[in-house]
Amino acid sequence: MMAKNEQNLRVAADWWMRLRDPAATKRTTQQWLAWTDEDASHLDAFERVTELATRLHSLGDVTRERLLAEFAPAQIRSRRAWLPMAAAAAAVLVIAGYVGWHAMSNPATSQSYASAVGAQRSVTLDDGTRVTLGGATRLVTHYSRNRRQVELADGEAYFEVVHDASRPFEVRAGDVTIEDIGTAFNVRRTGQYVTVAMAEGRVRVADNKGGANNSLEAVAGQSVIFDPSRSIMNVVTSDPASAAAWRNARLEFDNEPLSVVVANINRYRAQPLRIADNDLRSLTFTGTVKTDAIDDWLHALPQVLPLQVSEAGGQTVLSDARRTPEPR
């Protein structure tokens, strides 16, 4: 029977290639996300493969052989130790072959990044752009000679973009596209609900389903909110210094639906919150939630909104306090 580590690395290598296939679709990304959600070890294996691929991308054949030797040394002490190293070696060989073929057949490159619940992760993209991922965030980059595109599948990310007029930088979050015009900005995606908060510079934000006329520009001190229930984008005033307050353990909400608030808090809480009554989902909340004091916020929430907090089945449940209990 194939060892679990070996199996995970082989599957991760396969996903690494599938995500970079020019024929890949949104469904491919969704299936990859589902696979990473199945088991924490899946994401670990994928990050391992991604690390190897990154190192292989710019290496020559001789150096690739040395890297292969690093993960599959000639002298091994036991059969048990050999299995995971052989799996890593297989992943290296698969990726090395793909990197070589892809470099000749298609100049575009892709990369996938993810963070765990309650964790932050900082990465530097090939062009020098710096991205900080919030908790439980996933994104995929697609870089070509003429364009730099990032797909934010879920969560929140802060972008410090290296501007290049010849290669536009775009972030796609559901039905919204954000195009950099020399900028640092934060994008938060909750399903199809998207918020763009400007720290500096300027971006162009467009509703992909709204046609050419449904776009606008935002500058530092502004935020753009796309609410899918109304299919409109609103521009509101915001504090540039708070554009990515979550990096300092503060989640900022400004008159946002409780369903959006809960979904974002769940990216920082091991025990998830659940809204039991649909009437609560559209209630709005304004305020700050500290990620290291979420329970304190929950304790105070019934004083702000007409709900009650209880524990059930390993979840924290928010239910409507206005509902009349059924007679026994």
Structure tokens at 155: 């969560």
Report which of 229, 221, 227 is spatially closest to residue 188, judged by C-alpha positions: 227
Report which of 85, 2, 3, 95 is spatially closest to residue 46, judged by C-alpha positions: 95
Structure tokens at 188: 């938060």
The CATH fold assigned to 249-320 is Phage tail protein beta-alpha-beta fold (3.55.50)
| CA 227 to chain centroid | 19
d(CA 68, CA 24): 28
Give residues with Cβ within 8 angstroms of 68, minimum separation 6: 89, 92, 93, 96
Given a contact cutoff of 8 angstroms between Cβ atoms, the answer to whether 126 and 161 are in contact is no
Coil/strand/helix, residue 34: helix
In CATH, what number does 110-242 get? 2.60.120.1440
Place of tokens 């304790």: 299
Q: What is the pLDDT of residue 324?
A: 56
| Mean pLDDT score of the chain | 81
- pLDDT by 10s per residue, the chain, length 328: 345 666 777 787 778 777 766 666 767 777 888 888 888 788 877 777 776 665 555 444 444 455 445 444 444 334 444 444 444 555 555 555 544 444 444 457 888 999 999 999 999 998 899 999 999 999 999 998 888 999 999 999 999 999 888 889 999 999 999 998 778 999 999 999 999 999 999 999 998 876 555 789 999 999 999 998 877 788 999 999 999 999 999 999 999 999 999 999 999 999 999 999 999 999 999 999 999 999 999 999 999 999 999 998 888 999 998 875 555 5
CA distances from 211 to 4, 115, 235 (A): 48, 33, 18
d(CA 180, CA 1): 50
CA distances from 96 to 20, 44, 58, 234, 253 (A): 14, 20, 10, 46, 45
pLDDT in tens, 73-119: 444 334 444 444 444 555 555 555 544 444 444 457 888 999 999 99
Structural domain boundaries of the chain?
A: 4-106, 110-242, 249-320
